[in-house]
Amino acid sequence: MLEFYLNDKPFLLDRTKSVRMTHQNPACNVTEFPGDVTLGIEVPVNDVNNALLGYPGIFENNRKSSSREYPDFEIRYSGVLLMGGTLIITNTSTESYSGWLRSDVGNLGEEHRERKVNESPSFNVAKSFVNKADYNPESDEYGCPRVYNTEFFTDKGEKVTITLSAPNPNYTGEWLSTITLWTSRDNNENIYTAKEVEDLTWAFLNSAGYFVNYKNPDGTIKTPVSVSAGGPESIAKDLKVHAVTPMLFLNYLLRTIFFDAGFYLDKNFLADHPDLKKLILYNNFDITQVQYVKSTTQVIIPGTSHGDVEAYPITYGFDVEDIRRDYEKDFYYKDLVPQVHIKDLLLGIQNYLNVFFFFRPGRKICDIIDRESILTDHAIDLDKWFTGSWNMGDKLDVTLKFTFDHDEKDLMFTEYWQNIDDLRQKEKAPVMDWNELESISSAEMEEIRFIKSQNRYVQWKVWVKTEQDPHTGNDLQKKYIGWNHLTDGFQNGFFNYLKDDIETIPTVFGPISGDTRATVRQKGNMRSEMFSYESFKPRLLFYHDNNEATYKTENISLDWEREGTGLIQSRWLNWARFWCNRQPVECKMHFSLNQLDFMLRNIYKKFRTREGEFIIESMETEFGLDQIGITTIKGYKINYAPIVYKLTDIWKINDPIWIDDTIRDDFDWILLK
């Protein structure tokens, strides 16, 4: 029997009414999290239902919007939970309340539609820095991998002129160095030159060699307490400037996001995979505490008076005598995550790593499932519930385009990278290095080659270079033909290339350069209100133990088309092959209650009938008060084998043969043969 409950209190229903329930397979969607819905809900007006929903007249007079929502609503059939969520009443009359049910997944999207990752409550809890030589992705919340970044403190310091010294190649240190009439020798041991730098950047170079999370000899992160005078000359010379940047492990980030949303993360493919469990989320925030020690000298800049109005000072403060950097103050995870919406981050992870989030029906539990496993696992047989025949749609043949969202604040991409999607038709087989490139004797004009060892593209072309005439000093333009740098790698990926239709698999994630060490050229953030916030986009690295990280392991590269280990080959190959040539189909099934419950809990899996295997996109079932109607399934065929009837399907020994003479003659001929 069909049953409605609100806060565990039952409704009194009309025997003539029915509801239409639709469930979606999240594995078939790359642009949103599809929420299940129940349409056509009609609740009769009676004393029992009025007590739960309010009297229709009062409801109409008091509501301030076009609908009223009732959370904790459930639809059950003979006690089996079919769907839970929020009942949304859109209309009332003297006879009924009309509306629909938004599932718990839909509620999650509604509640967190505008929430950003850094707004999760757990990320606003003070944390003390724990310094280790190595962090464990399975038990630690963050790690501290080294990142080479020459731009971290750019525009955060004062300009200062320093003097650089270098050995004088003309100095001998002998008595001959004093004889300069007929030689180029002199008696200056060093050559001195002046250079303008920023104080913090120069101190960062001298202290850490431009490395974020610079390491001590024992592998821990260097966190010195350093004090210098407040002037730029002293800062550049004396202050120890280190950037300490904890980075959250991806699995900890996901567990926390779901916990704050009221969901428990149970099965987690990302935590079980030997490579993907090492993923860590990059950020550019330095947790170092900066303190400015004031002197006793007051600095007052007076304002101006206008008539009888008293003049107040426009600035009041003290000279900064010293500056101190230490790591004694707590920090917050909200500063370590990008300011993107939770939905966009989760969809980005889903499309980047080819997983999907499955929310178990009626339970606040989410599983992260490998989309590739759908195709590699055994199919579930539904033939006994199958009715009628398949309605076949036109088979698709599309190009899949896998995109990056590069961080435009990273100069590694703004200066060395360009999108070459429109030039990919000119691309030929990749080469290992420049030696192999130079051995190509028949290069065509504008052809493109990828150099594997350098992760960059070059193009055979004519270019003009401006050079200085050694005799006159004038600028000369000279033409060259050959291989010229076109762009660095990390291009968008393509599967089933050059088809008329293109389907895009988007993500908010971008890559980080560096084959042997993570390398960026991006301004960082400091714990100081003196400087504006420097935004950063979501980017992942593989943590390699001992506070090191890069964009790749031996098995997976966070690059779409890297040969052998790129994401298309290592994470998307089976699904991409199926998805670009999928064939829409529709059929009808007549499920029992137990089988329907099983289908809702396993809707993402692969199924089969005698005509072949398929994946469900959506299933819709009509429920009456005392009956379960036909379920309409829409999905995609993996393979199709039309039914072929054989004689053995119709005739058995000692059974009468109820077929025409022609077939009987054929059968006799087979026996005689």
pLDDT classification of 66: cutoffs 50, 70, 90 = low
pLDDT-derived band of residue 624, with 50, 70 and 90 as boundaries? confident
Give CA separation, 256 vs 115, 119, 123, 357, 537, in Å: 14, 12, 8, 15, 19
Out of 366-375, 553-562, 617-626, pick the least confident.
617-626
Binning pLDDT at 50, 70 and 90, where does residue 650 land? very low
Q: Are 558 and 406 in contact (CB under 8 A)?
A: no
The predicted pLDDT at position 35 comes to: 73
The interaxial angle of helices 342-353 and 250-260, nearest 10 deg, is 140
Q: Is the pLDDT of residue 640 over 90?
A: no
Model pLDDT, residue 646? 52
What tokens does 620 get?
Answer: 């819709």
Q: Measured between alpha carbons, how far is 459 from 514 in angstroms, rounded to an integer?
A: 22
- The token pair at 239 is 């202050």
Rounded to the nearest 5°, which phi and psi values hold at 565? Answer: -120, -5
Query: H or E stretch including 319?
Result: strand 315-326
Question: Which band of pLDDT confidence, cut at 50, 70 and 90, is reported for residue 303?
Answer: low
pLDDT of residue 331: 95
Instruction: Give the whole-angstrom CA distance, residue 56 versus residue 62.
Output: 10
Q: What is the mean pLDDT of residues 560-577?
A: 94
Contact 228, 234 (CB under 8 A): yes
Question: Which segments within 492-591 are labelled E, that is strand?
Answer: 493-495, 502-505, 518-520, 525-527, 540-543, 549-550, 583-589
Q: Is 452 exposed, middle or buried (0-12, 13-18, 19+ CB in 10 A)?
A: middle
| pLDDT at 656 exceeding the cut of 80 | no
CB 606 within 8 A of CB 613: yes
Who wins on pLDDT, 159 or 463?
159
Residue-level pLDDT at 659 = 41
Evaluate if residue 82 carries a pLDDT over 90. Answer: no
Asked whether the predicted pLDDT for residue 49 surpasses 80, the reply is yes
Answer yes or no: are the C-beta atoms of 614 and 603 closer than 8 Å: no
Tell which wins on pLDDT, 193 or 511.
511
Query: In DSSP terms, which residues pair with 5 in a beta bridge?
Result: 10, 74
Out of 168-182, 457-471, 641-655, pick the least confident.
641-655
- The residue with greater pLDDT, 464 or 507, is 507
CB of 483 closer than 8 Å to CB of 454: no
Place of tokens 């200066």: 415
What are 27's two structure tokens? 């594995």
Query: pLDDT confidence of 109, banded at 50, 70, 90?
Result: low
Would the CA dihedral through 172, 178, 184, 189 be positive or negative? positive
pLDDT at 661 over 60: no
Instruction: Output the DSSP codes for 397-457.
Output: --EEEE-----TT-HHHHTT----GGGGGGB---BSSHHHHHT--SPPTT-EEEEGGGTEE
The confidence band for 374, taking pLDDT boundaries of 50, 70 and 90, is: very high
What's the rounded Cα separation, in Å, for the pair 489 and 551? Answer: 13
Q: Which letter does DSSP use for residue 121 in this model?
A: G
User: Are residues 293 and 321 in contact, defined by beta-carbon separation less than 8 angstroms?
Assistant: yes
Mean pLDDT (whole number) for 520-530: 87
CA separation for the pair 120, 334 (Å, rounded): 8
Three-state DSSP string of 449-478: EEEHHHCEEEEEEEEEEEEECCCCCCEEEE
| pLDDT at residue 44, rounded to an integer | 87
What does the block give as tokens for 234?
């002293």
Query: What is the pLDDT averaged over residues 27-36?
Result: 84
Give the strands of the sheet with 264-268, arranged side by side: 264-268, 365-370, 355-359
Residue 250 clears pLDDT 60, i.e. is over it: yes
Rounded to 10 degrees, the C-alpha dihedral 120/124/125/126 comes to 150
- Residue 252: which H helix or E strand, with range? helix 250-260
* β-bridge mates for residue 248, sequence order: 142
Q: With contact defined as beta carbons under 8 Å apart, do 231 and 198 qualify?
A: no
Q: Which residue has the higher pLDDT, 42 or 175?
A: 42
Q: Is the pLDDT of residue 223 over 90?
A: yes
pLDDT at res. 301: 55
- The proportion of the chain whose per-residue pLDDT surpasses 70, expressed as a percent, equals 85
Residues making up the chain, counted from first to last: 673
Chain-centre distance for alpha carbon 5: 38
The three-state secondary structure class of 197 is: strand
Following CA atoms 523, 524, 525, 526 in sequence, which dihedral angle do they give, to the nearest 10 degrees?
-110
Report the candidate in 570, 293, 523, 502 with the shortest Cα–Cα distance to residue 414.
523
**pTM, whole model, 2 decimals?**
0.84
Q: Side-chain half-sphere of 256: how many Cα atoms within 13 Å?
A: 20
Predicted pLDDT of residue 334: 96
pLDDT at 589: 93
Strand, helix or coil for residue 209 = coil
* Mean pLDDT to the nearest integer, 42-63: 76
Please state, rounded to an integer, the average pLDDT across all residues of the chain. 86
Say whether pLDDT at 561 is over 50. Answer: yes
Residue 157 has pLDDT above 70, yes or no: yes
Q: Determine which helix (DSSP H) or strand (DSSP E) holds 671, and give its type and residue range.
A: helix 661-672
Residue 186 per-residue DSSP state: B
Asked if residue 166 has pLDDT above 60, the reply is: yes
Residue 507 has pLDDT above 80, yes or no: yes
- Residue range 470-487, pLDDT digits in tens: 777 788 888 889 898 899
Q: How many CB atoms lie within 10 A of CB 230?
A: 18
First to last CA, the chain: 59
What lies within 8 Å, CB to CB, of 533 at 6+ separation is 525
> Residue holding tokens 């610079």?
214
Q: What is the pLDDT of residue 31?
A: 87
The phi, psi pair for 607, rounded to 5°, reads -125, 170
Q: Give residue 672's pLDDT.
A: 44
pLDDT of residue 292: 78
Q: Which pLDDT does position 273 carry in this prediction?
A: 97
| Cα radius of gyration (the chain) | 35
H-run or E-run covering 176:
none
Give the residue among 152, 267, 265 at the shortest CA–CA distance from 526.
152
Q: How confident is the model at residue 313 (pLDDT cuts 50, 70, 90)?
A: low
pLDDT of residue 278: 98
| pLDDT for the residue 625 | 84
Q: How far is CA 388 from the centre of its chain?
A: 42
| DSSP structure class, residue 396 | P
Identify the residue whose tokens are 């020994």.
Answer: 653
Please give, one letter per residue, the 3-state secondary structure of 124-141. HCEECCCCCCCCCCCCCC
Cα–chain center distance at 190: 52
* Dihedral of alpha carbons 250, 256, 262, 264, sign: positive
CA atoms within 13 A on the CB side of 108: 28
For range 30-49, the mean pLDDT? 82
Spatial contact of 613 and 386, defined as CB atoms under 8 Å apart: no
- pLDDT for the residue 39: 78
The pLDDT of residue 272:
97
Does position 180 have pLDDT exceeding 60, yes or no? no
437 or 660, greater pLDDT: 437
Residues of the chain with pLDDT > 90, as a percent, come to 54
Residue 591: its pLDDT value, please?
Answer: 93
104, 71 Cβ separation under 8 angstroms: no
**If pLDDT is split at 50, 70 and 90, which confidence band does 657 have?**
very low
pLDDT class for 653, splitting at 50, 70, 90? very low
Task: Dump pLDDT digits (tens) for 134-152.
Answer: 999 999 999 999 999 999 9
Strands of 493-495's sheet, edge to edge? 493-495, 399-402, 502-505
